[in-house]
């Protein structure tokens, strides 16, 4: 879980018109910019070099840059976002990936895949099948990962109400520990891990993010904060409420490797 680099993208003014199911009202752009700047600063303070890409007005959801790729130090995979309004975000990030990575693969054809559905735990990749990631997308990614020696497991979340991406509900913190939504806790293959199960009313906070020595925890979820700190992690609280309004969370705002 050691990251030296990250990519983020500034929110566009069109962010207000992104996709959402949250029913938390319109984001406040000024606060969104502030929270984004603080997030980038927190990555830097955790020891990561951050490249901040310019806003893309044509793509309201483009601040959620995690969905456009899967990155490892030795390669990157360009995704093919499941939401039609987001598909063009992939082409926008391709030159950036080509600049940073020696090998860049692409999800192709009718396959769809959002980076938010990909949860890495040491040498295993859990790939969510969701409303955004289809079987073909998952299989294309699994075969690229396999070439590089990673195992993959598919996790079907299509029946879980209100869970957009796999990482909306489960995240790996290192030290064999998952933070997860109670609805995923019983699911194979998550049994074998030390589980920090957030209460259902704090389901949003299952999207915590480990960056080097620190675990980013969304502000406002006391029980989750306690779970993370009691498990021995150093937690850093970050306010991402303006991103929650558009169904996004801590992991969605960056690509890390």
Among 247, 255, 256, 257, binds ligand CIR (CB under 6 A): 247
The reply on whether position 66 binds ligand CIR by CB under 6 A is: yes
Is residue 119 annotated as part of the catalytic site, yes or no?
no
Q: Name the residue whose CB lies closest to ligand CIR.
A: 116
Quick check: 61 binds ligand CIR (CB under 6 A)?
A: yes
Q: Does 64 bind ligand CIR (CB under 6 A)?
A: yes
DSSP secondary structure code for residue 175 in this structure: T
Q: Take residue 158 and report the two structure tokens written for it.
A: 């299509």
Q: Is 131 in the site for ligand CIR (CB under 6 A)?
A: no
Site residues (CB under 6 A) for ligand CIR, limited to 160-219: 164-165, 168
In the block, residue with structure tokens 């925890």: 217
165 part of the active site: yes
Whole-angstrom distance, CA of residue 186 vs CA of residue 192: 10
Across the beta sheet with 69-72, the strand order is 69-72, 75-78, 104-106
Is 20 a residue that touches ligand CIR (CB under 6 A)?
yes
- Chain centroid to CA 17: how far? 20
**Which of 8, 67, 141, 178 is the binder for ligand CIR (CB under 6 A)?**
67
Q: What is the DSSP letter of 233?
A: P
Q: Which of 36, 40, 165, 208 is catalytic?
A: 165
| Residue 128 interacting with ligand CIR (CB under 6 A) | no
Adjacent-strand bridge partners of 209: 216
* Gap between the Cα atoms of 101 and 77, Å rounded: 10
**Residue pointed to by tokens 């040491």:** 122
116 binds ligand CIR (CB under 6 A): yes
Contact between 19 and ligand CIR by CB under 6 A: the answer reads yes
- Known catalytic residues are 165, 252
């Amino acid at each position: 879980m050691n990251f030296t680099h990250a990519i983020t993208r500034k929110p566009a003014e069109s962010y207000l018109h992104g996709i959402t199911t949250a029913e938390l009202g319109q984001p406040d752009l000024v606060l969104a910019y502030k929270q984004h700047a603080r997030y980038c600063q927190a990555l830097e303070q955790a020891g990561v070099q951050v490249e901040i890409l310019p806003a893309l007005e044509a793509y309201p959801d483009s601040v959620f840059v995690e969905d456009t790729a899967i990155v490892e130090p030795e390669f990157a995979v360009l995704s093919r976002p499941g939401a039609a309004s987001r598909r063009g975000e992939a082409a926008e990030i391709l030159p950036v990936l080509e600049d940073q990575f020696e090998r860049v693969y692409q999800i192709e054809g009718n396959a769809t895949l959002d980076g938010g559905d990909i949860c890495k735990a040491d040498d295993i990749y859990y790939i969510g099948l969701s409303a955004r990631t289809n079987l073909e997308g998952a299989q294309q990614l699994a075969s690229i990962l396999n070439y590089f020696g990673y195992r993959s497991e598919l996790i079907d979340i299509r029946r879980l109400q209100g869970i957009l991406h796999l990482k909306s509900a489960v995240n790996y913190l290192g030290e064999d520990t998952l933070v997860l939504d109670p609805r995923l806790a019983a699911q194979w293959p998550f049994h074998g891990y030390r589980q920090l199960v957030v209460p259902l009313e704090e389901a949003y906070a299952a999207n915590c993010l480990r960056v080097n020595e620190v675990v980013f925890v969304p502000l406002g979820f006391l029980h989750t904060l306690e779970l993370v700190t009691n498990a021995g992690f150093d937690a850093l609280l970050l306010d991402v409420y303006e991103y929650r309004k558009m169904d996004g969370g801590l992991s969605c705002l960056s690509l890390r490797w």
